[in-house]
Amino acid sequence: MTSLLVHREPFGLLFDEFFSDFFQRGRPAVARNGEHSPAVRARIDVVDKGDKYEVRVDLPGVKKDDINVTIEGAHVAITAESKGEKKSDNGERVLHTERYATSYVRNFELPVEVTQEGADAGFENGVLTLALPKRATVASKRLAIR
């Protein structure tokens, strides 16, 4: 009986790698072991509602307690983590599972500063919704010269 040994050239591996990546573009980055990359860029919508900004962020698989929002002036930072469970309830040994942990990160600047006073946050069906009131602009005052 003869065995067939297939030898792949380094350029063939590079070629395969390029095209496998080509078809994955637009999807979250997945490593070779099937797990997501360390941080996935969360998708957002920002709407100017006049006196406030409404921000909607897609965070699939995340629990409300695993979301952090930081606001400093016009800078907004959002981080969240989704953790897949890999344990069994019956004392059984899990041989393979395709659940994974994903970290979401998003940092962006708004056109004007916002305030945390009156800000509101809600999370439903994997979508975080933020209502961020614009900071009241202080009218410039002319200084009288003596």
- For the segment 7-28, what is each residue's pLDDT rounded down to a tens digit? 444 444 444 444 444 444 344 4
Neighbours of 74 (CB within 10 A): 16
Domains of the chain (ranges plus CATH)?
40-133 (2.60.40.790)
101/11 Cα distance (integer angstroms): 33
Lookup result for tokens 């979301």: 67
Look at residue 55 in the predicted model and tell me its pLDDT.
Answer: 96
3-state secondary structure the chain: CCCCCCCCCHHHHHHHHHHHHHHHCCCCCECCCCCECCCEECCEEEEECCCEEEEEEECCCCCHHHEEEEEECCEEEEEEEECCCCCCCCCCCCCCCCCCCEEEEEEEECCCCECCCCCEEEEECCEEEEEEEECCCCCCCCCCCC
What confidence score (pLDDT) does residue 144 get? 83
pLDDT of residue 71: 93
* Amino acid in position 24: Q
Mean pLDDT of 59-73: 92
| Mean pLDDT, rounded, for 69-88 | 84
Confidence of residue 6 (pLDDT cuts 50, 70, 90): very low
User: pLDDT by residue (tens digit) across 28-51?
Assistant: 444 444 544 557 888 999 999 999
Beta-strand pair 127-133/120-124 = antiparallel
Instruction: Return the amino acid letter for 10.
Output: P
Convert the pLDDT of each residue in 91-114 to its tens digit: 777 777 776 778 899 999 999 999
What pLDDT was estimated at residue 86? 58
Q: How confident is the model at residue 85 (pLDDT cuts 50, 70, 90)?
A: low
What is the pLDDT, as a whole number, of residue 72? 93
